[in-house]
């Protein structure tokens, strides 16, 4: 008896059963998760000293994890410290000058002014008496006193009277104290000196380079002894939070990708493990598919950038690492592409036969 037909029939029946099982148990199109492929991305910042001075020390190396506010480097501050001492001394001198003006004249100065006024007044009185005697003697005995002597006595009297008036004005100035304008000028000089101190203290504080936030040192670009400047970065810092996967989605799948949608992220270095995430950003502008994402024939396809924020508590993700993102499609059905009425059935068949950028990404 020939068994070959029996075996062939059994194989055909088994193949048919497998096909039927696959056909009836496979998920309906569009019901499975949306799979995107992308790369891990993080923000980076270039850190530089805000002053121009020689670097005294650097505290961290490439790959070190740093925290917000951690000291990363220090400049030589000897020059700034000397300038700060000088500015503080000048400020103290100007402050004392202001206090002297605000305090006004001392009692001893007022008494001195009064004594000078009294002395000049006594001289004026003596000059008046001298003029009176000469004038009286001239009336009693004509020719006993020359006219020159009388004129000299009169001139002396006028001079002493003017001195008396000057002494009195000087006494009034001493008693009234300095002018308001002089006090305001001294106060402005004190404020300027304090501003100079604050500026130097700020420059002294900025001579210490601090980490703006937590991250990982990617590059150390300078060494101790180099001359720093605001234009020359010392470190490149990769910010560890947030991290995201930059992927691209085609227009037919765009309806499933919205900000806040939950996602899972998988990487090759951690097989079988998933990192929780959520969609944080969907671009509103279409762009050409990057060459690193799609095949050559699909490079001209338009896609939308998507950023999936990752909750990388174990610190598995690294900059540039390839990652696979899966998003649940939800309960709604994906929109069906509409074919314009002017397109023929043959053209419609050719257009649907071409794989979309999203299908190639899955």
Q: At what angle do helices 78-103 and 180-206 cross, to 10 degrees?
A: 160
Q: Kindly give the confidence (pLDDT) of every residue in the chain, 362 residues in length, as a single tens digit, with 9 standing for 90 and above.
A: 566 666 777 777 777 777 666 555 554 555 578 889 999 988 899 999 998 999 999 999 998 999 999 999 999 999 999 999 999 999 999 999 998 888 777 777 777 888 888 888 888 888 888 778 778 877 777 767 777 877 788 888 888 888 888 888 887 777 777 788 888 999 999 999 999 999 999 999 999 999 999 999 999 999 999 999 999 999 999 988 888 999 998 888 888 888 989 999 999 888 888 889 999 989 888 887 665 554 445 545 778 899 999 998 888 888 888 999 998 876 333 333 343 333 333 333 333 333 333 333 33
- CA–CA dist 103, 289 (Å, integer): 79
Domain ranges of the chain: 30-42+241-361, 49-76+207-233, 83-201
Q: Which residue has the tokens 């074919």?
A: 339
Q: What confidence score (pLDDT) does residue 300 get?
A: 52
Distance CA 133, CA 141 (A): 12
The CA distances from residue 31 to 151, 192, 334, in Å, are 128, 72, 9
- Greatest Cα pair distance, the chain, in angstroms, is 190
At a CB cut-off of 8 Å and minimum separation 6, what does 201 contact? 84
Quote the CA–CA distance of 213 and 5 in Å, as a whole number.
76
Backbone conformation region of residue 104, classed left if phi is above 0, alpha if psi is from -120 to 50, else beta: left
Tokens representing 106 are 């001392």
291-347 pLDDT, tens digit each? 555 444 554 577 889 999 999 888 888 888 899 999 887 633 333 334 333 333 333
Distance CA 248, CA 356 (A): 12
Q: What is the CATH number of domain 49-76+207-233?
A: 2.40.50.100
* 30-42+241-361 maps to CATH 1.10.520.10: no
Q: Are 42 and 216 in contact (CB under 8 A)?
A: no
pLDDT for the residue numbered 335: 38
334 phi/psi in degrees, rounded to 5: -70, 145
Half-sphere exposure of 95 (CA within 13 A, CB side): 9
Q: Who contacts 13 (Cβ-Cβ below 8 Å, separation ≥6)?
A: none
3-class secondary structure, 156? helix
Whether omega for the bond prior to residue 242 falls within 30 degrees of 0, making it cis, is: yes
CA distances to 41, 46, 212, 254, 337 from 302, rounded to whole Å, are 21, 33, 38, 12, 15
Q: Are 227 and 52 in contact (CB under 8 A)?
A: yes
Residue 252 and residue 358 in contact, taking contact as beta carbons nearer than 8 Å:
yes
Residue with tokens 């020159």: 148
| 230 φ/ψ angles, rounded to the nearest 5 degrees | -65, -20
């Amino acid at each position: 008896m020939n068994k070959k037909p029996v075996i062939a029939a059994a194989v055909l029946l088994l193949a048919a059963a497998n096909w039927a099982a696959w056909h009836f148990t496979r998920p309906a199109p569009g019901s499975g998760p949306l799979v995107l492929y992308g790369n891990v991305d993080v923000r980076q910042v270039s850190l530089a000293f805000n002053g121009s001075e020689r670097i005294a020390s650097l505290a961290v190396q490439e790959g070190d994890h740093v925290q917000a506010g951690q000291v990363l480097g220090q400049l030589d501050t000897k020059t700034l410290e000397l300038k700060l001492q000088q500015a503080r001394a000048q400020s103290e001198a100007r402050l004392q000058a202001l206090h002297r003006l605000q305090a006004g004249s001392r009692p001893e100065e007022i008494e001195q002014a009064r004594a000078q006024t009294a002395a000049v007044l006594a001289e004026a009185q003596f000059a008046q008496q001298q003029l009176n005697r000469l004038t009286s003697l001239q009336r009693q005995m004509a020719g006993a006193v020359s006219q020159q002597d009388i004129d000299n006595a009169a001139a002396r009297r006028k001079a002493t009277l003017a001195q008396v008036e000057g002494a009195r004005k000087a006494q009034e100035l001493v008693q009234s104290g300095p002018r308001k304008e002089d006090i305001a000028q001294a106060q402005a000089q004190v404020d300027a000196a304090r501003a100079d101190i604050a500026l130097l203290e700020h420059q002294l504080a900025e001579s210490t380079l601090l980490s703006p936030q937590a991250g990982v040192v990617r590059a150390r670009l300078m060494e101790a002894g180099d001359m720093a400047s605001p234009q020359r970065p010392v470190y490149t810092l990769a910010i560890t939070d947030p991290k995201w996967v930059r992927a691209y989605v085609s227009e037919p799948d765009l309806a499933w990708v919205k900000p806040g949608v939950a996602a899972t992220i998988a990487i090759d270095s951690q097989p079988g493990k998933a990192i929780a995430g959520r969609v944080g950003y969907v671009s509103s502008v279409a762009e050409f598919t990057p060459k690193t994402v799609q095949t050559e024939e699909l490079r001209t396809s338009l896609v939308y950038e998507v950023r999936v924020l990752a909750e990388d508590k174990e610190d598995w993700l690294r900059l540039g690492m390839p990652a696979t993102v899966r998003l649940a499609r939800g309960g709604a059905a994906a929109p069906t592409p509409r074919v314009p009425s002017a397109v023929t059935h043959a053209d419609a068949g050719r257009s649907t036969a071409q794989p979309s950028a999203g299908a190639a990404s899955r």
